[in-house]
Amino acid sequence: MNCIYEIWDDTTSYDKNILGNKGYHLMNMFQNGITVPLAIVIPTTICRDYYGLGKKLSLEYKEMIKKKCKELEKVTGKEFGNAKKALLVSIRSGAAVSMPGMLDTILNVGITKDMVLKTQEKYLLRAYITFLNDYVKGVYGIQLKERGDDFPDKSVDEYKEIISKKLELFQQTTGEQLDDSIEAVIENAVCSIFNSWEKPEAQMYRKNKNISDDLYTAVVIEEMIFGNRNEMSGSGVLFTKNPITGADELYGEYIVNGQGVEVVNGVADTRPIEQMKSELNEVYEQLKNEVSKIKTLYADPQDIEFTFENGKLFILQTRNACIRK
């Protein structure tokens, strides 16, 4: 019988073909004492069954997902739909073989219209805008995103006006109001990730890279960490060796009050990792400690993505780095 995996369950055996690449490494890091966001993993076998049922999730799987999401609330101490202790998650693809940019990702699942109407928290309003852009495109195929609509330079009222316009455009296009209830969104988002396995560009990528269509993708439902929450939050990327010189030193960059996508896409002014030592020394010490554990776990030099929220650091991802010899 298939099951949905919790990365904090130390009885789980590791199988990359079942957990997918992302789920496998999250679980491996967590089980080896590295601080990562908590997550559950819907295995590739459920994706295979989804296609076997004509692109439908069985009632059994729907109930399993609902139950495991309740467990995620319990272990994080947060709740979906609760603005005071909000649990927001990313819902990501995770094939056994990495297919960068080919499969869907939906960020900030767990925030609703009711929450944003009541909140004055800018980071939640920006989070909902990103969610709307990702979710409506992934599930309905409708492009809502406009350049700069989630930039951090707007007032609360301006963000709420952007949200109202997006919801209005959705209703005009579909003839219905957006159902952003938590259960419906999680179910639709998981199906969207599964569906992205058969996108033409994903099929072409697999053909060009000789990746089997029969691998299917896992889905990772992972706690969101907000690098854009305040001035004690931020994001960055780091190499465990200098990728230019090959020197055995930490090499990377970070931003304060911003999310990882802003670093990776080059839309924010970054600071060299050395500056963190004086600017955010406690975070820097946490980073050094996590890097030490990662270097023990992985023999090859690593390319690491990290985020910190309210001064607490999390490792989002690590992978083998390309280092000049």
- CATH number of the domain where residue 300 is located: 3.30.470.20
Q: Does residue 181 sit in the same domain as residue 282?
A: no
Of the three residues 176, 201, 223, the one that is the final residue of a domain is: 223
The pTM score is 0.91
Q: Does residue 203 sit in the same domain as residue 269?
A: no
Q: Does residue 37 sit in the same domain as residue 177?
A: yes
Task: Identify the CATH number of the domain in which residue 64 sits.
Answer: 3.30.1490.20
Q: Does residue 68 sit in the same domain as residue 141?
A: yes
Token pair in block for residue 279: 């600017």
Q: So what's the pLDDT on residue 324?
A: 67
Contacts with 114 (C-beta within 8 Å, 6 or more apart), sequence order = 81
Q: Does residue 29 sit in the same domain as residue 70?
A: yes
Confidence band of 123 (pLDDT split at 50, 70, 90): confident
Q: Does residue 307 sit in the same domain as residue 266?
A: yes
Q: Encode pLDDT of 235-261 as tens digits.
A: 999 999 998 888 888 999 999 988 877
**Residue 204 in domain:** yes
**Residue 229 in domain:** no
Question: Structurally, how many domains does the chain consist of?
Answer: 2
Q: What whole-number distance in Å separates Cα of residue 149 and Cα of residue 28?
A: 36
Q: So what's the pLDDT on residue 293?
A: 97
With a cut of 90, say whether residue 323 has pLDDT above it: no
Mean pLDDT of 301-316: 96
With a cut of 90, say whether residue 30 has pLDDT above it: yes
Confidence band of 1 (pLDDT split at 50, 70, 90): low
Mean pLDDT of 66-71: 97
Q: Does residue 142 sit in the same domain as residue 13?
A: yes
Q: Does residue 188 sit in the same domain as residue 283?
A: no
Residue-number span of the structural domain to which 258 is assigned:
234-320
With a cut of 60, say whether residue 57 has pLDDT above it: yes
Q: Does residue 139 sit in the same domain as residue 262?
A: no
Q: Does residue 17 sit in the same domain as residue 107?
A: yes
**Residue 160 in domain:** yes
